[in-house]
Amino acid sequence: MKYLNSIILGLSLGLLMELSPLGSFSHPVPIDPSKLNSLKDSIKKMDSLVKAMVSSNPILCLKNAQKALNYARRLGTSEDLIHGYSLMGQAFYRKDKDSSYIYFNKALKLADSARIDASKPFLLLNCATIYYIAKDFKMAIVLLDSCIKFADSQKDYTTMSRAYNTLGNINIYIQNGDNALKMYDSANKIAVRYSIPGQIGLSLGNLAQFEKDPAKELKLEKEAIRYLVKNKGNEEGLARIYINMGLCATNPDTALFYFREALNITRNNNLAEVEMTAYNNMVYSYLEKGDIKSAETCLVDHAIPLAQKEKNDDWMATLYDTYADVLVRKGDFKKAAKWQKTAMEKRITADKAQASEQVRLLGVLLDLKSKELTIHDNQREIMVQQNRLQKTRLGLTITIFMIIGFVFIILWLQQRNRVKLQRQQIQSAKRIIEMEENEKARTARELHDITGQLVLGITGEIENLDLPDTKIKDEIQGKIKNLGKSIRMISHRMNKAMLDNFTFEELILGQCEDIRKVVGLQIHLEMPEEPLVLNEELVLHAYRIVQELLTNAGKYARESYISITFQKTANELILHYNDNGPGFDSSLIEKKGMGIMNIFERAKLLNGSAKVKSSPGDGASWEIKFPLVQGKKKRYNYQ
């Protein structure tokens, strides 16, 4: 993991807090009254240092937050402990979202139990932001709604405006532009009404993206800058607005001016990602001017070393891809292809890391929810036992009835929690699969875009070769073009949005043809004679399952014979898969990897079932059943 040391420190602190007697804060050790003000002043000092160093020096920021929490423990009051936990959450936020959420959640629970509503808006906003990062938008929206209500009651209009801006960001992500515009407009109105310059600037910057007139958009962005420069702490938003202004500029020199303004801000505020964004956009402005040398300098001397220093695979992939574009403009197609390949490798690594990080964060959030439910059940059980002891004095008959009633309640609560946990697990599986589909779609688009460029570059290189036999040159160029066409067809079938252009039979047949060409597998496919009319969700998951089975066969059973049969009954579509490959121990199926587990998860999401029989040396056999349910269908017209 990228920030292993800080994460280990965060988890260690979390464990120490669980083991330490924090529940005794209502009975603190008496402190000399003369030292009370000194400790409170120390916490305020640490607060200022944490906020000042949260970006520039994360390690020192965390140390100051730890000092503040130690002072708060010595004071022992609820308000001070909430303050200490909140500072720890802020210190961990940039590098370790797991630990950040743990501390913000602790502060929120303490504020709730102590009924200290003044702290709730800020804490709810930060917890909601972490759920937003984990792509759990439903929980994020619930928390933001609570944040807005508490902020209104506490007259915390800065946090209220920030909450509306975050709601706008969520709606932008889910492509609900109309609702996003409403949220940003609400954020702006609140900020204007209560004269909050920083929030006015941020909301204006968000509203600018909805202006269709470039002149009006530029005017809004300049007005946003005028407000943002009035207050410290808005440097990242200010730099991003300058970058947006550069992107909207039609003159490359004007664009470069705005990008340099953004760089002047990032260099003094440790905003590495924004700095790389500015350099990356500067490259294309220089290319537009024809200044290839300056474009290359931006990448080689600044952006790429910064991405490598930050160990940011996502940005390395983007910058390597940009460098390939520069090399193409220089005419160095061979070197450009090499950098393009490196960019694709980094992109795959970054996508895997991002997906893993997101799944892990969702797991932490789900685990915390489960622990809270367990604590709640334990507290309820203690109360039940106390009531039971009191009511035994009323008589044997009443006691028996109460015991029966309490046992029934406990069993019902346990069953309800199990159902709730299963529902959450299914929702998590859906989100993970949706994430995978989005990543496949993005990879498909990049593969499609890159293929055309590479084929053009390679054919151009071959055209310049001096070969005595022109037939050989034509044959090579033809094969390369056919390869490009095949790769584009594969990219179409990777993209969920393109699946609507094919019938189910065409999708399955196309997948078999792809793997047969690439790997050389022998595949026998049988489909029902009657055309299939299937639910869209069933088409997607059945297609992805076949894709996973053939991918595994390509890895481990290249020399085997594969049989795939689809059988339709009145209520089910049944997939039979067999191969005579090396097989595996089906009793260890949970250790075989994410791909095979996805087969079971996809079948479960359709209320179907998946069974596998395999042993070393005896091949593998799958039977996967999909219920045929009513719903939105994919209907095909057959000529």
Please say which residue of 114, 133, 164 terminates a domain. 114
Residue 33 within a domain: no
Looking at the structure of the chain, the number of domains it has is 5
Name which of 456, 464, 446 is nearest 340 in CA terms.
446
- Round to whole Å and give the CA distance between 488 and 498: 12
| Domain CATH code at residue 276 | 1.25.40
Residue 76 three-state SS: coil
Do 371 and 458 share a domain, yes or no? yes
Residue 217 within a domain: no
Residue 509 within a domain: yes
The DSSP H or E segment spanning 457 is helix 396-463
Residues belonging to the chain: 639
- Do the beta carbons of residue 77 and residue 25 sit within 8 Å? yes
- Do the beta carbons of residue 135 and residue 99 sit within 8 Å? no
Residue 99 within a domain: yes
The predicted structure's pLDDT at residue 283: 92
Q: Residue 86's domain spans which residues? A: 44-114
- Round to whole Å and give the CA distance between 432 and 135: 10
Do 120 and 205 share a domain, yes or no? yes
Residue 389 within a domain: yes
Residue 69 within a domain: yes
Question: Where residue 585 falls among pLDDT bands split at 50, 70, 90?
Answer: confident
What's the pLDDT tens digit per position in 23-53?
A: 333 344 555 666 778 888 888 898 888 887 8
Do 410 and 489 share a domain, yes or no? yes
Q: CB neighbours (10 Å) of residue 173?
A: 12
What would the two tokens of residue 513 be?
A: 């043809």
What would the two tokens of residue 600 be?
A: 């079971």
Name which of 75, 76, 83 is nearest 23 in CA terms.
76
Do 512 and 495 share a domain, yes or no? no
- Round to whole Å and give the CA distance between 285 and 248: 12
Identity of the residue numbered 606? L
Do 390 and 438 share a domain, yes or no? yes
What would the two tokens of residue 443 be?
A: 């990879």
Mean local confidence (pLDDT), 635-639: 34
Do 198 and 263 share a domain, yes or no? no
Do 162 and 98 share a domain, yes or no? no
Do 482 and 514 share a domain, yes or no? no
Name which of 87, 97, 72 is nearest 20 in CA terms.
72
- Round to whole Å and give the CA distance between 424 and 419: 9
Do 475 and 539 share a domain, yes or no? no
What's the pLDDT tens digit per position in 398-425?
A: 778 778 877 878 877 777 777 666 566 5
Please say which residue of 483, 501, 519 terminates a domain. 501
For the whole prediction, is pTM greater than 0.75?
A: no
Do 429 and 517 share a domain, yes or no? no
What's the pLDDT tens digit per position in 363-381?
A: 666 665 565 555 455 556 6
Residue 14 within a domain: no
What's the pLDDT tens digit per position in 222-244?
A: 888 888 887 777 888 888 888 98
Residue 483 within a domain: yes
Do 344 and 439 share a domain, yes or no? yes
Strand ranges in 477-545 using DSSP code E only, listed in sequence order: 522-526, 534-535
The predicted structure's pLDDT at residue 300: 92
Percent of the chain with pLDDT over 70: 75
Q: CB neighbours (10 Å) of residue 134?
A: 23
Do 372 and 268 share a domain, yes or no? no
Please say which residue of 114, 129, 158 terminates a domain. 114
Which residues 6+ apart lie within 8 Å of 121 measured at CB?
147, 150, 151, 154, 156, 159, 160, 163
What would the two tokens of residue 138 be?
A: 């439903």
Which of the pair, 234 or 462, is modelled with greater confidence? 234
- Round to whole Å and give the CA distance between 95 and 7: 8
Question: Where residue 57 falls among pLDDT bands split at 50, 70, 90?
Answer: confident
- Round to whole Å and give the CA distance between 394 and 392: 5
Percent of the chain with pLDDT over 90: 28
Residue 593 three-state SS: coil
- Do the beta carbons of residue 110 and residue 81 sit within 8 Å? yes
Identity of the residue numbered 165? N
